[in-house]
Structure 1
Amino acid sequence: MPKKSPLEQLRKIRNLRAENLSWQLAEARGAIARLAEERKREGAEFEAVQARVDQASIGQNLAAGKFVSGAEVHAIVQKQSKLRAMEAEAQDRGRALEEAVAAAERRADRLEDEVARARRIATRTDILSDMIKSLENE
Protein backbone atom coordinates (compact mmCIF):
# COMPACT_ATOMS: atom_id res chain seq x y z
CA MET A 1 0.00 0.00 0.00
CA PRO A 2 1.61 3.28 -1.06
CA LYS A 3 2.21 5.78 1.69
CA LYS A 4 0.16 8.93 1.37
CA SER A 5 1.94 12.21 1.22
CA PRO A 6 1.48 14.62 4.12
CA LEU A 7 -0.51 16.87 1.81
CA GLU A 8 -2.87 14.02 0.91
CA GLN A 9 -3.33 13.26 4.59
CA LEU A 10 -4.00 16.93 5.29
CA ARG A 11 -6.54 17.04 2.47
CA LYS A 12 -8.32 14.00 3.87
CA ILE A 13 -8.40 15.58 7.35
CA ARG A 14 -9.72 18.87 5.96
CA ASN A 15 -12.45 17.11 3.98
CA LEU A 16 -13.47 15.07 7.02
CA ARG A 17 -13.62 18.24 9.11
CA ALA A 18 -15.84 19.96 6.54
CA GLU A 19 -18.09 16.90 6.40
CA ASN A 20 -18.29 16.68 10.20
CA LEU A 21 -19.19 20.36 10.46
CA SER A 22 -21.88 19.87 7.82
CA TRP A 23 -23.40 17.08 9.92
CA GLN A 24 -23.29 19.26 13.02
CA LEU A 25 -24.98 22.07 11.11
CA ALA A 26 -27.74 19.71 9.95
CA GLU A 27 -28.24 18.58 13.55
CA ALA A 28 -28.41 22.19 14.75
CA ARG A 29 -31.03 23.00 12.12
CA GLY A 30 -33.00 19.92 13.17
CA ALA A 31 -32.83 21.08 16.79
CA ILE A 32 -34.15 24.50 15.76
CA ALA A 33 -37.10 22.85 13.98
CA ARG A 34 -37.87 20.61 16.98
CA LEU A 35 -37.67 23.56 19.38
CA ALA A 36 -39.96 25.61 17.14
CA GLU A 37 -42.54 22.78 17.21
CA GLU A 38 -42.22 22.51 20.98
CA ARG A 39 -42.62 26.27 21.30
CA LYS A 40 -45.78 26.06 19.18
CA ARG A 41 -47.21 23.34 21.46
CA GLU A 42 -46.27 25.33 24.56
CA GLY A 43 -48.01 28.38 23.09
CA ALA A 44 -51.21 26.40 22.56
CA GLU A 45 -50.97 25.02 26.10
CA PHE A 46 -50.40 28.52 27.48
CA GLU A 47 -53.49 29.81 25.68
CA ALA A 48 -55.55 26.92 27.08
CA VAL A 49 -54.33 27.66 30.62
CA GLN A 50 -55.11 31.36 30.17
CA ALA A 51 -58.64 30.49 29.06
CA ARG A 52 -59.08 28.27 32.12
CA VAL A 53 -57.80 31.07 34.37
CA ASP A 54 -60.28 33.48 32.83
CA GLN A 55 -63.14 31.00 33.29
CA ALA A 56 -62.19 30.40 36.91
CA SER A 57 -62.02 34.08 37.81
CA ILE A 58 -63.80 35.11 40.96
CA GLY A 59 -65.66 37.89 39.15
CA GLN A 60 -67.29 35.49 36.70
CA ASN A 61 -68.25 33.09 39.47
CA LEU A 62 -69.70 35.81 41.70
CA ALA A 63 -72.37 37.09 39.35
CA ALA A 64 -74.82 39.66 40.67
CA GLY A 65 -77.78 38.12 42.45
CA LYS A 66 -76.12 34.72 42.70
CA PHE A 67 -75.58 33.15 46.10
CA VAL A 68 -72.15 31.58 46.57
CA SER A 69 -71.16 29.88 49.80
CA GLY A 70 -67.86 30.52 51.53
CA ALA A 71 -66.69 27.01 50.64
CA GLU A 72 -67.38 27.68 46.96
CA VAL A 73 -65.49 30.99 47.11
CA HIS A 74 -62.60 29.19 48.80
CA ALA A 75 -62.62 26.46 46.12
CA ILE A 76 -62.73 29.10 43.37
CA VAL A 77 -59.79 30.98 44.88
CA GLN A 78 -57.76 27.77 45.25
CA LYS A 79 -58.52 26.72 41.68
CA GLN A 80 -57.60 30.13 40.35
CA SER A 81 -54.39 30.10 42.39
CA LYS A 82 -53.41 26.72 40.93
CA LEU A 83 -54.25 27.88 37.43
CA ARG A 84 -52.21 31.06 37.87
CA ALA A 85 -49.26 28.92 38.99
CA MET A 86 -49.72 26.76 35.88
CA GLU A 87 -49.86 29.92 33.78
CA ALA A 88 -46.60 31.17 35.31
CA GLU A 89 -44.92 27.80 34.68
CA ALA A 90 -46.10 27.85 31.07
CA GLN A 91 -44.68 31.35 30.65
CA ASP A 92 -41.36 30.21 32.13
CA ARG A 93 -41.24 27.20 29.79
CA GLY A 94 -42.04 29.51 26.88
CA ARG A 95 -39.20 31.86 27.81
CA ALA A 96 -36.82 28.92 28.24
CA LEU A 97 -37.78 27.63 24.79
CA GLU A 98 -37.24 31.09 23.29
CA GLU A 99 -33.74 31.14 24.79
CA ALA A 100 -33.03 27.60 23.58
CA VAL A 101 -34.13 28.48 20.05
CA ALA A 102 -31.97 31.61 20.07
CA ALA A 103 -28.97 29.60 21.31
CA ALA A 104 -29.54 26.94 18.64
CA GLU A 105 -29.80 29.62 15.95
CA ARG A 106 -26.55 31.22 17.14
CA ARG A 107 -24.88 27.79 17.06
CA ALA A 108 -26.20 27.14 13.55
CA ASP A 109 -24.89 30.52 12.38
CA ARG A 110 -21.48 29.78 13.88
CA LEU A 111 -21.43 26.33 12.29
CA GLU A 112 -22.37 27.79 8.90
CA ASP A 113 -19.35 30.07 9.13
CA GLU A 114 -17.12 27.17 10.19
CA VAL A 115 -18.42 24.95 7.37
CA ALA A 116 -17.74 27.66 4.80
CA ARG A 117 -14.25 28.18 6.21
CA ALA A 118 -13.52 24.45 6.28
CA ARG A 119 -14.68 24.09 2.68
CA ARG A 120 -12.47 26.97 1.57
CA ILE A 121 -9.50 25.40 3.36
CA ALA A 122 -10.25 21.98 1.83
CA THR A 123 -10.50 23.56 -1.62
CA ARG A 124 -7.18 25.36 -1.14
CA THR A 125 -5.59 22.12 0.00
CA ASP A 126 -6.97 20.31 -3.06
CA ILE A 127 -5.61 23.00 -5.36
CA LEU A 128 -2.22 22.92 -3.66
CA SER A 129 -2.15 19.12 -3.86
CA ASP A 130 -2.98 19.21 -7.57
CA MET A 131 -0.28 21.82 -8.17
CA ILE A 132 2.33 19.72 -6.37
CA LYS A 133 1.30 16.61 -8.31
CA SER A 134 1.58 18.44 -11.60
CA LEU A 135 5.03 19.78 -10.63
CA GLU A 136 6.17 16.29 -9.62
CA ASN A 137 5.01 14.88 -12.97
CA GLU A 138 7.01 17.44 -14.95
Structure 2
Amino acid sequence: VPMPVRYTDAPFLLPVENVLTITGRGTVVTGAVERGSVRTGDRVSVLGGDGEPVETVVTGLETFGKPMESAEAGDNVALLLRGVPRDGVRRGQVVAAPGSVVPKRRFSARVYVLSAREGGRTTPVASGYRP
Protein backbone atom coordinates (compact mmCIF):
# COMPACT_ATOMS: atom_id res chain seq x y z
CA VAL A 1 0.00 0.00 0.00
CA PRO A 2 1.52 3.33 -1.00
CA MET A 3 2.01 6.05 1.60
CA PRO A 4 -0.88 8.53 1.54
CA VAL A 5 -0.34 12.02 0.20
CA ARG A 6 -0.29 14.58 3.05
CA TYR A 7 -2.29 17.64 2.03
CA THR A 8 -0.43 20.23 4.10
CA ASP A 9 -1.22 23.18 1.80
CA ALA A 10 -5.02 22.69 1.91
CA PRO A 11 -7.32 24.34 4.49
CA PHE A 12 -7.30 22.68 7.93
CA LEU A 13 -9.67 19.72 8.50
CA LEU A 14 -9.89 17.38 11.51
CA PRO A 15 -12.60 14.68 11.77
CA VAL A 16 -13.56 14.40 15.47
CA GLU A 17 -12.79 10.94 16.88
CA ASN A 18 -13.36 11.66 20.57
CA VAL A 19 -14.56 14.46 22.85
CA LEU A 20 -13.26 15.04 26.40
CA THR A 21 -13.66 17.64 29.11
CA ILE A 22 -10.73 18.94 31.15
CA THR A 23 -12.03 20.41 34.39
CA GLY A 24 -11.23 24.10 34.56
CA ARG A 25 -9.97 24.21 30.96
CA GLY A 26 -12.81 23.23 28.63
CA THR A 27 -13.68 20.88 25.81
CA VAL A 28 -11.04 18.86 23.97
CA VAL A 29 -11.53 17.11 20.63
CA THR A 30 -9.14 14.46 19.35
CA GLY A 31 -8.45 13.07 15.89
CA ALA A 32 -6.00 12.85 13.02
CA VAL A 33 -5.47 16.00 10.96
CA GLU A 34 -6.84 15.12 7.52
CA ARG A 35 -5.42 18.13 5.69
CA GLY A 36 -3.77 21.48 6.29
CA SER A 37 -2.30 22.65 9.57
CA VAL A 38 -3.44 24.32 12.78
CA ARG A 39 -1.70 26.43 15.43
CA THR A 40 -2.62 27.57 18.91
CA GLY A 41 -4.65 30.76 18.48
CA ASP A 42 -6.16 29.79 15.10
CA ARG A 43 -9.88 30.39 14.53
CA VAL A 44 -11.77 27.22 13.56
CA SER A 45 -15.35 26.07 12.94
CA VAL A 46 -17.04 22.98 14.38
CA LEU A 47 -19.42 21.58 11.73
CA GLY A 48 -21.64 18.58 11.17
CA GLY A 49 -24.17 18.98 13.95
CA ASP A 50 -27.84 19.78 13.57
CA GLY A 51 -27.39 23.55 13.79
CA GLU A 52 -25.16 26.23 12.41
CA PRO A 53 -21.35 25.90 12.53
CA VAL A 54 -19.80 26.92 15.87
CA GLU A 55 -16.92 29.40 15.56
CA THR A 56 -14.17 29.04 18.17
CA VAL A 57 -10.43 29.39 18.81
CA VAL A 58 -7.82 26.68 19.44
CA THR A 59 -6.42 27.53 22.88
CA GLY A 60 -4.26 24.43 23.30
CA LEU A 61 -2.79 21.66 21.19
CA GLU A 62 -1.20 18.36 22.26
CA THR A 63 -0.07 15.10 20.75
CA PHE A 64 0.36 12.04 22.94
CA GLY A 65 0.41 14.27 26.06
CA LYS A 66 3.08 16.66 24.75
CA PRO A 67 2.14 20.33 24.18
CA MET A 68 2.70 21.57 20.61
CA GLU A 69 2.49 24.92 18.85
CA SER A 70 1.20 23.43 15.59
CA ALA A 71 0.06 20.21 13.89
CA GLU A 72 -0.24 19.27 10.23
CA ALA A 73 -1.84 16.62 8.02
CA GLY A 74 -1.17 13.13 9.37
CA ASP A 75 -0.66 14.18 13.01
CA ASN A 76 -2.86 12.77 15.80
CA VAL A 77 -3.81 15.70 18.02
CA ALA A 78 -5.97 16.93 20.86
CA LEU A 79 -7.37 20.46 20.43
CA LEU A 80 -8.62 22.53 23.36
CA LEU A 81 -11.49 24.66 22.03
CA ARG A 82 -12.52 27.96 23.66
CA GLY A 83 -16.16 28.28 24.76
CA VAL A 84 -17.47 25.07 23.19
CA PRO A 85 -19.69 23.11 25.62
CA ARG A 86 -19.10 19.36 25.95
CA ASP A 87 -22.49 18.60 24.41
CA GLY A 88 -21.82 21.05 21.56
CA VAL A 89 -19.52 18.65 19.70
CA ARG A 90 -19.53 14.89 19.14
CA ARG A 91 -17.71 12.14 17.29
CA GLY A 92 -18.30 12.35 13.55
CA GLN A 93 -18.30 16.14 13.35
CA VAL A 94 -15.36 18.04 11.88
CA VAL A 95 -13.21 20.95 13.00
CA ALA A 96 -12.16 23.02 9.98
CA ALA A 97 -10.76 26.34 8.85
CA PRO A 98 -13.69 28.82 8.78
CA GLY A 99 -15.51 28.81 5.43
CA SER A 100 -13.53 25.88 4.01
CA VAL A 101 -16.24 23.20 4.41
CA VAL A 102 -19.87 23.27 3.29
CA PRO A 103 -22.04 20.68 5.12
CA LYS A 104 -24.12 18.35 2.91
CA ARG A 105 -26.99 15.99 3.71
CA ARG A 106 -26.63 13.76 0.63
CA PHE A 107 -23.72 12.50 -1.43
CA SER A 108 -22.78 9.81 -3.96
CA ALA A 109 -19.91 7.41 -3.36
CA ARG A 110 -18.15 4.45 -4.94
CA VAL A 111 -17.27 1.87 -2.30
CA TYR A 112 -14.96 -1.13 -2.59
CA VAL A 113 -15.63 -3.81 0.02
CA LEU A 114 -12.75 -6.22 0.68
CA SER A 115 -13.57 -9.88 0.09
CA ALA A 116 -12.98 -12.48 2.82
CA ARG A 117 -9.82 -13.56 0.99
CA GLU A 118 -8.55 -9.96 1.15
CA GLY A 119 -9.22 -9.81 4.89
CA GLY A 120 -12.66 -8.23 4.60
CA ARG A 121 -16.26 -9.31 5.02
CA THR A 122 -17.48 -12.90 4.85
CA THR A 123 -21.14 -11.87 4.43
CA PRO A 124 -22.56 -9.48 1.83
CA VAL A 125 -23.57 -5.89 2.56
CA ALA A 126 -27.33 -5.56 2.03
CA SER A 127 -29.40 -2.45 1.33
CA GLY A 128 -29.87 -0.40 4.51
CA TYR A 129 -26.76 -1.88 6.20
CA ARG A 130 -25.50 -0.03 9.29
CA PRO A 131 -22.31 -1.02 11.11
| TM-score of the superposed pair, with normalisation by structure 2 | 0.14
Choose between structure 1 and 2: higher helix proportion.
Answer: 1
Please identify the structure whose Cα radius of gyration is greater: 1
Structure with the larger strand share: 2
Larger RCO: 1 or 2 (CA < 8 Å, sep 6+): 1
TM normalised by structure 1 equals 0.13
